[in-house]
Amino acid sequence: MTRPVIGVIGNAYNVENRFRTQLVGENNLRAIAEVTGALPLMFAGHPRLTDIADLLDVVDGVLLTGARANVHPSHFNTAPDPRHEPYDVNRDALALPLIQACIERAVPVFGICRGFQEMNVAYGGSLHPEIRELPGRMNHRMPRLENGEIHPDPAVVFADRHEVRLTPGGVFARLLGRDTIRVNSLHGQGILEPGRRIVVEGIAEDDTIEAIRVDGASGFALGVQWHAEHDPQVNAVNRALFEAFGEAVSARRAGATPQRGGLAR
């Protein structure tokens, strides 16, 4: 096989409220296949089903996707609350050490939404279960109708809703060629305190953290709070992110030495 392989983490899901499955949104798979040029390979977000060492011997990069479930608050010393369920404790148990293993082995890792939050928690950071409840914050959750149902039009749900200010001269600003971007917003939970190796490089209009990198990573180790997998085929910002991720996994497969600073380019 000449194409690089990107592992895509699965999420626990019940089919017909009876059958336990592992679910991956197709947009994640399409973003990899159509933009990075790599082969997407789904793996179970469960430590009894996926061995981290074996996984990293097979894949050239890892995509940590968004998910319905929140990271369990016990990972950042906060009591759980039924209002913030569901949780996916098995994904937590796999994803958090997986992130550290990727950094240690210079395996490119890209975190989106929950994956972005997992990267922060993996390095000792904390999350807030409802960012919109903090003073001065906007509602970052997906748009809903007056009756509370999710808006039926995906174009409305995934529309760009706010700006993100990028750190001038940072990894994201260099990659995207600008200091301000606009992104979609479909999350309730968000970063409260950054972890010890987490460098914040993007902040929303209301000061919500939106883009991070892992300090000292030997290669691509970036996370975004927005859903970059939704439209990288047509969205210049999200395309640039997935293309850079693809270049990093291709370089790893070819045996190239990554550059330091969180981005192998």
Q: Tell me whether residue 227 is one of the annotated catalytic residues.
A: yes
- Domain 5-130+188-254 part of CATH 3.40.50.880: yes
| Domain map (residue ranges) of the chain | 5-130+188-254
Taking the CA of residue 74 as centre, how many other CA atoms within 13 Å lie in the half-sphere pointing to its CB?
Answer: 8
Residue 258 pLDDT: 58
The per-residue b/e assignment along 235-245, b for 16 or more CB within 10 angstroms, e otherwise, is: bebbbbbbebb
Rounded distance between C-alpha atoms, residue 208 and residue 211, angstroms = 10
Catalytic residue among 72, 84, 140, 227: 227
* DSSP string of 64-124, one letter each residue: E---SSBPPGGGGT----GGG--B-HHHHHHHHHHHHHHHHTT--EEEETHHHHHHHHHTT
Are the beta carbons of 180 and 119 closer than 8 angstroms?
A: no
Pick the range with the lowest mean pLDDT from 28-32, 171-175, 185-189, 190-194: 185-189
The SS3 assignment for 182 reads strand
Are the beta carbons of 119 and 223 closer than 8 angstroms?
A: yes
Catalytic residue among 72, 102, 113, 247: 113
For 220-242, the pLDDT digits (tens) are: 999 999 999 999 999 999 999 99
Catalytic residue among 118, 201, 210, 229: 229
Q: Tell me whether residue 113 is one of the annotated catalytic residues.
A: yes
Are the beta carbons of 114 and 71 closer than 8 angstroms?
A: yes
For 6-56, the pLDDT digits (tens) are: 999 999 988 888 899 999 999 999 999 999 999 999 999 999 999 999 999
Burial (CB < 10 A; 0-12, 13-18, 19+), residue 212, is: buried
The SS3 assignment for 255 reads coil
With a cut of 80, say whether residue 165 has pLDDT above it: yes
**Amino acid making up residue 179:** D
With a cut of 80, say whether residue 261 has pLDDT above it: no
3-state secondary structure 48-65: CCCCHHHHHHHCCEEEEC
Strands 11-15 and 109-112: unpaired
Q: How far is CA 163 from the centre of its chain?
A: 18
Q: Tell me whether residue 229 is one of the annotated catalytic residues.
A: yes
Longest dimension (CA), the chain: 54
